[in-house]
Every structure is written in structure tokens, then in C-alpha cells.
Amino acid sequence: LKKTILLFAVAIIFLTSCAVVSKYSHKEKETLLLNHLNKWKNFRLNGIIEVNYQIFSFRKNIQIKKTGNLFRADIFDTGLLGLSPSPFLTAYYDSLLTLKLPGNESLVVIPQNKLLHDFPYINYLLDFQLLAQHKDKIIKNHRIELDDLTIYFSNQMEISRVDRADKNYSLVLKYGKELQEIIFLAENKTVADIIIDKISFSEVNFKKIEPDFNLR
């Protein structure tokens, strides 16, 4: 259960399609790429998540917020506009990943060393701006390979897909004017789908989860 939640929590930190003949110059692609990477430093999105994976099967409201390297995702039992919505599941990251799981009053804390062991590229997921150091390769190939992790970019230089070959996991991102849908695949089967109702890009405030360090 914890491994499944951990995989999903990391996957949903990876927010970010099109396939037509490229019409942009190298300089224009560079500008598009850097603007795309920079905008994800701070954001807030609200939407609906549908999950069908092992023991999980539900359709609920989701809210994801990120400011710098701080991240929080809440899945709600009731609508966000409802009276005092209660989180069904919460994931919070600063230097640790703290999870509040359904049916578990205690918090689950994933230490940074374990997180880095299981997800060695977590820093790239938390800060897309780090990908800028690979901008020439990305512009040339529309992808960057980081060992078992491959990140694909559309002709608009938006992150369109993320594959982790060793685990056979994928994240697919679909865009309209802004990001509209995030699909999480395991062994080429959809296990989670987020339909985004609203997204904004600005610094946000959110409540920190205080873990009990005796639980680690």
C-alpha cells in the first residue's frame, strides 16, 4: 500500500503534447522550453482524479499545490466547494515525503535517502528548471534520457510524456491552452487519470504536515 501511494505521489509531482511538423527555429524552441520549465516553479491545480489500481478504485476531487520545492497534494472525500471538505489522502514534501493514508491515523514518513534510492531523479521532478542544463539535447531530440528515465517534449517544447523503463511506468500529459489531463500508466494500462478543471501559476500558501519522527 505504501509503495503504491509513494509511486502515485511522486508521479503526480511530475506535472507537464502535440505532434506536428516543427515550425520553430532553435532560438524560438529555446524560449518556449525555458518558459515552460520556469512556469512550473509555482502552481495550483484543481480537478477530478479517477483511480483504478489494485485495491484502489475511486473518483474524487484533487488539489495539487507547489511553491519552489514544497509540494502538497490532497484528494478529497467531498467537493472543494462543499462544507469543510476532508482530505481522503494527502502527500506533502519538503525534505521528507509525508503521507496521510486512508484508514490510517498515523502519518507515513519517507526519509529523503529512501526517496532518492527509489526515485534517483526526484530533484528533476521537483524542479523542472534543472532540465534547462540539458536544453540543447532536448531541443535537438525532443527528449532527454536520464538512465532509465526518459522525458519527451512536444513541438511546443512542453513535457508530454515521462517513461521509467525499469519499472514500466509512464506519465502522459495532454494540453489545450494549458495542461488539461494527466494520465498515469503502469504496464501500458491506465491506473490514474486527472482531469484538470482549473490551473494557475503563482506562489501559493499551504499548510505543512508535521510528521511524528518516531514513525520513520
- pLDDT, one tens digit per residue, over 136-145 is 999 999 999 9
Give Cβ neighbours of residue 149 (< 8 Å, ≥ 6 apart): 121, 124, 162, 163, 164, 165
What are the grid coordinates assigned to 23, written together? 515550425
Residue 182 vs residue 119, higher pLDDT: 182
Within-domain flag for 158: yes
Is residue 155 scored above 70 in pLDDT?
yes
Instruction: Name which of 127, 99, 102 is nearest 111 in CA terms.
Output: 99
Residue with cell 499548510: 207
CB 173 within 8 A of CB 179: yes
Within-domain flag for 216: no
Q: Which of 3-17, 51-65, 147-161 has the lowest mean pLDDT?
A: 3-17
Instruction: Count structural domains, the chain.
Output: 1
Within-domain flag for 182: yes
Confidence of residue 9 (pLDDT cuts 50, 70, 90): low
Is residue 12 scored above 70 in pLDDT?
no
Within-domain flag for 212: no
* 3-class secondary structure, 12: helix
Give Cβ neighbours of residue 107 (< 8 Å, ≥ 6 apart): 98, 99, 100, 209, 211, 212, 215
Task: Give residue 195's domain range.
Answer: 2-207
Within-domain flag for 57: yes
Across the range 149-173, mean pLDDT stands at 92
CB 199 within 8 A of CB 42: no
Share of the chain above pLDDT 90, in %: 45
Q: How far apart are CA 98 and CA 131, in angstroms?
A: 25
The pTM (predicted TM-score) of the whole model is 0.80
| Number of helices (H), then strands (E), in the chain | 5, 12
Within-domain flag for 213: no
Share of the chain above pLDDT 70, in %: 83
Q: How far apart are CA 196 and CA 86, in angstroms?
A: 20
Confidence of residue 11 (pLDDT cuts 50, 70, 90): low
Average pLDDT value over all residues in the chain: 83
Strands 87-93 and 97-100 turn out to be antiparallel
User: CATH number, domain at 196?
Assistant: 2.50.20.10
pLDDT of residue 104: 74
Confidence of residue 88 (pLDDT cuts 50, 70, 90): confident
